[in-house]
Amino acid sequence: MAYLAFYRTFRPSTFDEVVRQEHIVRILKNQITTGKIGHAYLFCGPRGTGKTTLAKIFARAINCENPVNGSPCGKCATCRALASGGNLDISEIDAASNNGVDEMRDLREKVQYPPVAGKYKVYIIDEVHMLTPQAFNAVLKTLEEPPRHAIFILATTEPQKIPATILSRCMRFDFKLIPQKDIENLIKEVLTKVGKEFEDEAVSLIARAGAGSARDSLSIADTCASYSEGKLTYDDVNAVLGSADAVQIADLCGKILKEDEAGALENVERILSTGKSVGVLIKDMLSFLNDCAVVKICRNARNIVNLPEETYLAIKDIADGADGHKILRATEVLAEAENDMRYSLNGRITLETAILKCAMPQADYNIDAMIGKIDRLEKRVAELENRPAAGVSFQTPAKAPYSDVAPASGTAAKPSPVPEAPAKDKEKEKMPVALEINEDDPFGASESPSTAKSEVQPTLWEAGDVKNMVAPVGNLSEEEKSAVFGKFVRALRTTHKNAVLFTLCMDLKSQFSGEKMVFITDSEPVYKALTRAENEKFIADLLLTFGVSEHEVRLESKGESDYDAAIRELKNNFGGTDINIK
């Protein structure tokens, strides 16, 4: 006898052997028990979830002379007749190749003939959505009022393509994807029956690759069983699936999350040079990042991912050292790249562009990248808050001008000598370090020695006592008023604890209404941030040092004209007066 694949050899023959789909099995059993058999059924759902299998079991069960708990007994004369290859009472039709109107007219004529062995004549039409509109119309009336002995079972993976006139004439059953744990149990049972030893991690990887389809999972298990001569291991399954090595994927994703774009591109080159597909590589990276998210969030992550100990520890190490927002953003970028691969002529460029976008958030201008920049800036500010106490300075060693020169090929790298800095340079090194923010990139911070040109002392606001530094409050001249906003922004810029506040304020518009300083913004998030109690108090104390005792933050719509702004300001200044605009 010819060899049969696992999914054919171990196809269920009774309802009790079916994996999951309990909601459908229960209805079909009850109909058989009570004798309330319908004339048309529609089985729809993903591939490999048991649609054709249940249709065959149901067709034999309704013809069985002595059904056992709703399932065919397999022993009576009818069951034996239906099990033979020449039976005419159960007909399977492939609608993908018999999708024309002539085939449906032929079916309409044959359905009139009574069954030979059983009570019912069952027509199982697989992939019924492939029928043409004319074919659907040809079978429409027969499907609505078939002979008493005829039953139709339509199976499809795309019910949305079936006309509503057909759907309304059928009892619809929606099949669900099979949970991974049930697929794992099925694969273990099959491998045990064929005498194949296996690792639990290998079975788990096969079940994940099957993606909820029992047939796909058993097909992969069949291939893996032939690949491995001895015990089926995790590495064997990985090799059969064509996936990249887990260590390589871990190293690649680790470099992406650490923003090492050069190392990430080198790893991609190394992996693709072995013949791996770009699409498979993206899929493996998404799977790895998903495991990182699970390990970072879930307490029982070890049981959920079910990976070898070495792989699990590598994922845990990367997940613990990575920010959750970075993992989410990298997953979104790669998922978008996977979708773009369908329309790309060069998938490799699409992949490398996505990797650069993940590893270089400073070059990306979307909101997720900006959030990452702010997060990195806040961490840097927190580090600077822990600098040595007043009077204690820390040095930044001078960098040798030739320290970046690569050693000659075949020679070991030697530490470059650092020449002793002149006396003047040593004095500069001992100067306190301040947070300098580039005006072109306000979210990128770097350290630079503070100079004597600083107009505001870096430690002014950290002392927490501004009462002794308040400038005389009085009538400011127009020249003094015009300089207040610049002094205010520079003061925020040299304040370690308020670098984010500086970012919020640098795009504000400012004007004076009498002696009151008015900040104007058209961004509601900026307005809400600046009007929080702690920020308002800080701004008030800071403005007091420049002789401004009162301030206000206003929110203006982007489309507000100068005329509307003038009217609104007039109403604000004369709140108790009725003003009629003509």
**Residue 543 located in a structural domain:** yes
CATH of the domain at 198: 1.10.8.60
Alpha helices in 431-561, H assignment, sequence order: 478-493, 499-505, 524-530, 533-544
Give the DSSP H or E segment for 32: helix 22-34
Please tell me the predicted confidence (pLDDT) of residue 86.
73
> 42: number of CA atoms within 13 Å, CB side?
23
Q: Is the domain of 317 the same as that of 283? A: yes
What residues are paired with 473 via a beta bridge? Answer: none
Q: What is the CATH number of the domain that holds 562?
A: 3.30.300.180
Residue 432 placed within a domain = no
Q: Per the domain annotation, does 455 fall within a domain? A: no
pLDDT (tens, 9 = 90+) of the chain, 582 residues, equals 578 889 889 999 899 999 989 999 999 999 998 888 999 999 999 999 999 999 999 999 999 988 888 888 888 888 888 887 678 888 899 988 888 889 888 888 889 888 888 889 999 999 999 999 999 998 888 888 889 999 999 999 999 999 999 999 999 999 999 998 999 999 999 999 999 999 988 998 899 888 889 999 999 999 999 998 889 998 889 888 877 777 888 889 999 988 888 888 998 988 888 888 888 889 889 989 998 999 888 888 888 887 778 788 888 888 888 888 888 889 999 999 989 888 888 888 999 999 988 888 766 666 666 666 677 777 777 777 665 444 434 343 444 443 343 444 444 444 444 444 444 444 444 444 444 444 444 434 444 433 333 343 333 333 344 444 445 555 788 888 888 888 887 777 665 556 677 777 877 888 888 888 888 888 888 888 888 888 888 888 888 888 888 888 888 766 556 666 677 777 777 766 776 666
In this prediction, residue 161 carries a pLDDT of: 92
Query: CA–CA separation, 558 vs 37, rounded Å?
Result: 67
Are 164 and 258 within one domain? no
**Alpha-carbon torsion, ordered 79, 81, 86, 87, to 10 deg:** -70
Domain CATH number, residue 259: 1.20.272.10
- Per-residue pLDDT, 306: 77
Calpha distance 508→485 (Å, rounded): 10
184 and 199 in a single domain? The answer is yes
Question: Where is the domain boundary, 370, 401, 423?
Answer: 370
Residues 280, 185, single domain; the answer is no
Q: What's the pLDDT at 484?
A: 84
What's the CA gap between 117 and 448, in Å, rounded? 92
The DSSP result for 279-344, as a single string, is: HHHHHHHHHHHHHHHHHHH-TTHHHHH---HHHHHHHHHHHHHS-HHHHHHHHHHHHHHHHHGGG-
Asked whether residue 226 falls in the same domain as residue 302, the answer is no
**Residue 232 belongs to some domain of the structure:** yes
Assess if residue 51 is contained within a domain.
Answer: yes
| pLDDT (0 to 100) of residue 42 | 95
Length of the chain: 582
Q: Rounded to an integer, what distance in angstroms lies between the CA atom of residue 299 and that of residue 14? A: 39
- What is the chain's mean pLDDT, rounded? 79
CATH code: domain of residue 31: 3.40.50.300
**Which tokens in the block code for residue 85?**
């290859």
**Same domain for 94 and 198:** no
Range of the domain at 566: 467-573
Residue 258 forms part of a structural domain: yes
Longest dimension (CA), the chain: 110
- Strand 150-156, strand 121-126: pairing: parallel
- Domain boundary at 326, 352, 370, which? 370
Does residue 156 share a domain with residue 28? Answer: yes
On whether both 133 and 12 belong to a single domain, the answer is yes
Query: For the stretch 311-346, what's the b/e string if a residue is b when 16 or more beta carbons lie within 10 angstroms of its beta carbon?
Result: bbebbbebbeebeeebbebbbebbeebbeebeeeee
- In this prediction, residue 175 carries a pLDDT of 94
| Nearest Cα to Cα of residue 137 among 175, 110, 159, 169 | 169
Q: Cβ neighbours of residue 215 under 8 Å, at least 6 residues apart?
A: 7, 47, 48
Model pLDDT for residues 422-473, shown as the tens digit of each residue? 444 444 444 444 444 444 444 344 444 333 333 433 333 333 444 444 455 5
Q: How many domains does the chain have?
A: 4
Q: Which of 241, 270, 294 is the last residue of a domain?
A: 241
Q: Are 201 and 307 in contact (CB under 8 A)?
A: yes
User: How high is the pLDDT of residue 458?
Assistant: 39
- Calpha distance 180→202 (Å, rounded): 13
Residues 168 and 201 in one domain: no
Same structural domain, 199 and 254 = no
How far CA 240 is from CA of 26, 100, 249, 338, 479, in Å, comes to 38, 39, 17, 22, 77
Residues 519 and 494 in one domain: yes
Calpha distance 511→485 (Å, rounded)? 9
Single pTM value for the model: 0.56
Residues 163 and 193 in one domain: no
Evaluate whether residue 376 is within a structural domain: no
Q: Is 251 domain-assigned?
A: yes
